Amino acid sequence: MSKNLEIGIVGLPNVGKSTLFNILTDGNALAANYPFATIEPNSGTVAVPDERLRVLADLYKTNKIIPATVTFTDIAGLVAGASKGEGLGNQFLGHIRSTALIVHVVRAFSDSNIQHVDEDHNPKKDIEVINTELMLADIQSIDKRLSKLEKEARSDPKVRVIVEQIKKVRDYLDQGIMPNSLPDEDFSEITDLQLLSLKPQIFVFNIDEKDLDKDSKKQELIKLVANYPSVFISAKLENELRGLDESDAKELLESYGQTENGLNILIKMAYSTLGLQSYLTAGEKEVRAWTINSGDTAPQAAGVIHGDFEKGFIAAEIVNYTDLVNAGSMQAARANGKVRTEGKAYVMKPDDVVEFRFNV
């Protein structure tokens, strides 16, 4: 598929990044109470929560469920001066370049037992430290390439467009503005430069359990990152939920005024922020969610299963998930006129359950 699904978790040391990563991936990244506990990035693949898969598995009487997935990478805590190599900063910034999305974890909880990198607990300042380092790293990257590209632009109109967009980014960075906060600007010609300040970004505020249902506290934090999607998570609570069965976890969440755990919300938000959606295939052998870009056509969706399916695409037999569940079987859905045949121009919808016809 066309989009990289690696998501980088960044933040200052001791904000809860590694704890969050461990819970997400059920992994064992070292979560220690001192800066640079994480030296190499840890990666883990996480299922995209999708309640439809279990329903279809029951319908088709299969135990094999394969969800869509995203990969989270825990990148060591950045500090002020990272772009100049402070705290192994250059190495860590390099790790972020390979990711498709940045999840920026911000400490918004109080705990005197967990040291803060500068003993000053201020979410606004912490956000600015990380964003400044991302911007400074991009300025260095741009300055290394710009003069060469300007020479090429004299004889190549395509490079001229690239140079114009790079200069526009440089101007914003000089003003202390993150270009990824400007949805109306077009930087499509320079995505391959992997500039950190152009990557989509989600903010995760790691808050106290008692603040999960406090809208005033949340609104205060949202104002700090108004142009970005944000999620509120109590890493402490998520850790408690980890060892509970479904009914106990639900009861604990409800006691804090929550209907869904924060990690599921984050995974779904990351998936949609990357412009992704899933379509479903179902049968007695397995039920599966396949990841595609929003706007993909039926042949492109078939190509995610196997390249030959796209080349030899004939048609797609499609039923809406709800129609299929209500009918009780594919045969009944077909008898009710709910199954339709779509051709090459069909744009896939998130609730499509599909069977492809192809010739290879």
d(CA 54, CA 287): 8
Degrees, nearest 5: CA angle 236-238-244: 115
Beta pairing, strands 42-47 & 69-74:
antiparallel
Single pTM value for the model: 0.83
| Beta partners for residue 110, in sequence order | none
Q: Which two tokens stand for residue 59?
A: 């319908």
Listing DSSP states for 83-142 in one string gives GGTGGGHHHHHHHHHT-SEEEEEEEE---TTS--TTS---HHHHHHHHHHHHHHHHHHHH
Are 252 and 261 in contact by the 8 Å Cβ rule? The answer is: no
Supply the angle between the helices 123-153 and 89-97 in degrees, to the nearest 10.
70
Between the alpha carbon of residue 173 and those of residues 84, 104, 163, 179, 181, the distances in Å are: 17, 19, 15, 7, 12
Distances (CA, A) of 195 to 93, 181, 198, 202: 11, 14, 6, 16
Q: How far is CA 181 from CA 11, 134, 226, 323, in A?
A: 18, 13, 9, 39
SS3 147: helix
Count of helices and strands (H, E) across the chain: 13, 12
pLDDT of residue 177: 95
Question: Helix 262-273 crosses helix 17-25 at what angle (to 10 degrees)?
Answer: 90
Amino acid 76: pLDDT: 66
Q: What is the pLDDT along the chain (360 residues), one digit of tens a residue?
A: 434 478 998 888 888 888 888 888 774 443 433 333 344 557 788 888 899 999 999 999 999 999 988 888 887 655 555 445 444 445 556 778 888 999 999 999 876 555 555 556 689 988 998 898 889 889 988 998 999 999 999 999 999 999 999 999 999 999 999 999 998 899 999 988 889 999 999 999 999 988 888 899 899 999 999 889 999 999 889 888 887 888 998 999 999 888 888 888 998 899 889 999 999 999 999 999 999 999 999 999 999 999 889 999 999 999 999 999 999 999 999 999 999 999 999 999 999 999 999 987
* Rounded Cα gap, residues 300 and 307, in angstroms: 9
Give phi and psi for 287, each to the nearest 5.
-120, 135
Question: What pLDDT score was predicted for residue 78?
Answer: 56
Instruction: Report the distance separating Cα 238 and Cα 252, nearest Å.
Output: 10
The amino acid at residue 322 is T
End-to-end CA separation in angstroms for the chain = 20
Q: What is the DSSP letter of 209?
A: G
Per-residue confidence (pLDDT) for residue 48, from 0 to 100: 86
| Domains of the chain and any CATH numbers | 6-272 (3.40.50.300), 295-358 (3.10.20.30)
The pair phi, psi for residue 142, each rounded to 5°, is -65, -45
Closest to 344 measured CA to CA, from 307, 309, 320: 309
